[in-house]
Structure 1
Amino acid sequence: MGAALLMPYWFLLMVLVGPSPLKGPWSVGAVVLLPIPAAVVTGLVAGVRQMEGTAVKELLGGPLAAMNVPVARTLRARLGTGLWFSLHLHVGVVVGAASLALPPFALVLAVFPFFGWGVDDPRSPLYAWKHSPYQWLGPPAGLACVVALLGLIVVAGRTLAVLAPRFLGPTPEERVAELEEQAAKLAERNRLARELHDSVGHALSVVTLQAGAASRVLDRDPDFAREALTAIEESARAALADLDHVLGLLREDKARTTPQPTLADLERLVEQTRIAGVELDHGVDAAVAGIPAAVSREAYRIVQEGLTNALRHAGKVPVTLRITVADDRLNVLVANPLSGPPGRTRAGGGRGLGGIRERVTVLRGEMAAGPVRGEWRMEVSLPLMSGA
């Protein structure tokens, strides 16, 4: 490939050097040497790097096969590609010339002792060799030429495969950009996982408790059972909407990325929790309606996960919910009596508290959760400027 790509440079220089004042060795030197910088300049074209990277991966392999070779966009990447392109073309010419010259030469040496070749004339320079025992060195010499050609091809290929990452591999800037892209994708995956855990997890917890309560009172209180079944339907429908939203984000489907709930939708969440059999005492400041949308969305999920934790770990116990705004901060309190023996605590809190802590960290807020005087308390404080 290198030899074929270098031919147009030679042909063009032959046309240009012909009418020039350069004569003799100077003209030959110009035709031979000028393609070196010309190939470097060609390699500065952005797309050449990707083309050469694909060729190396398919034909040479080596360490570059496991690397991403994007289009060269920085000066450093283009210079590396230019040097590689020139090296590729000139190594290709050497290998190509050897591949054209050595096989027929090796064949002539191999069969020389068995043919006259018109050297019976004593004046021929080959006459003495033809009529001496040294002629039988021809076949081994021919074989050596073939071995040398194969060795040249293998060594050139492996050397270029080793050098390719130095010229075509990612630059430090590209490595940093790739790491940032991977970090962004990981952060997005974690965010979607939190959305699923908080929304669908809460709905399933509420549905489980509502279904259990309905089954226990189905015969003696059908009205309550009917109300619980209606709440189950509403909770399941809301969970499906949240799931559809998350799947829409994964598919990048704008038609399915519906608005996420905020604290303005808190009444529905409170009603679902109460229907599940929880005695919920909640209070919300009127100033909550004016907080930034980003803080309101995250605060809704934090409250949702806090109530879900109370349902899962404490059962049907009284729960206190307070949401206040003071000193440009949104404060959330979720508290419930501890269930089980006094020494039993829920250190760590499973994935729920971890998800809440991630949300709080993103908004540069503060969080405290743990047993306090017979209660499990989760307190979160979020700066309102986080949503700007």
Structure 2
Amino acid sequence: MKVVSVVGARPQLVKLAPIAAAFSRTDHEHFIIHTGQHYDADLSDVFFTGLGIPDPDVHLGVGSGSHGVQTGAVLAAIDPVLEREKPDWVLVYGDTNSTLAGAVAAVKQHLPVAHLEAGLRSFNRRMPEEHNRVLTDHAADLLLAPTEEAMRHLAAEGLAARSVLAGDVMVDVCLRVRDTVRAGEHGAPTLPEGIDPNEPYLLATLHRAENTDDPRRLAGLVAALNELPVPVALLAHPRLLVRAEQHGVKLDQGAVRVGRPLPYAEMVAAVLGSVGVVTDSGGLQKEAYLLQRPCTTLRPETEWVETLDGGWNHLVPDPQELGRPAWVELATRPAPTTPTGTPYGDGHAADRVVEILAQHLA
């Protein structure tokens, strides 16, 4: 069996790590296409070294651009690669422009498509990620769902016959890296200047278009972070830096200290060292849950509804509407005593994915 993986953004590279490892334990051929959607080295290249992922077989180098330009660039660049390789499966990951472009390119060439992390829904059609994941699910031949909730979403859309509960490969890599961090196999994370790793701090990220593109919205969220009584380590995505400069929003003030995105192992270490997380990232919400740190999500909805159980994750669409006392209390709350459970699987999803692909090919 020959499988082509199409990746291009940080969350996909993290998911690729356990999949690549699972393929290495078999006789199947695994070919990696990196689209270059995340062209910043902090968001891309560092994960290939930090997570032990094999170097990509092809790097398309599409870089930045509007959604249409970026998706079109991936389509144009990936077509000849798929035509040459003729894989048994094209495996696409998550919900980025690379995901949709990889799926469409494969479908046009009548190549079977499998979608890893299928069935997630925010039901917010303003999110580009929602467009990508819904369109990819309806185009794909095999839907690898991470949770029972995702399976229900797919069934509601008439896709049950193509859906398989595979578990969440993010659990595989997160728990493995957590154990190596606890064993002292990694150094201390590179936190922003002014953050003492031995004192309480919150870890924060902010990058989604709905939070960064509107100047007033971005200024309000940054002000809410600034007024927290605990130091905030804000790991600034390139998008946030660009938008903050365009809008004249100063990030590094009050409680906030700005740093760069971290390699995955350092990110896990930073979450473990924190007293909580504030984010609009889907991946970080789940990582906080798996690492048992309270999370406050700056969105009105989440794809990972399981993280809301027991109060591990709280949705805060607008901290200013919530009011300062309630916002401060929520963002700095202690970890719940409620067990997190295992809604995302047991940490062996990647091996199951390879087995499922082989079974469905047969």
Query: Larger strand proportion, structure 1 or 2?
Result: 2
Query: Larger helix proportion, structure 1 or 2?
Result: 1
TM bracket (short chain): under 0.3
TM-score by length of 1: 0.20
TM-score by length of 2: 0.21
For the pair shown, the structure with the greater C-alpha radius of gyration is 1
The structure with higher relative contact order (CA 8 Å, sep 6+) is 2
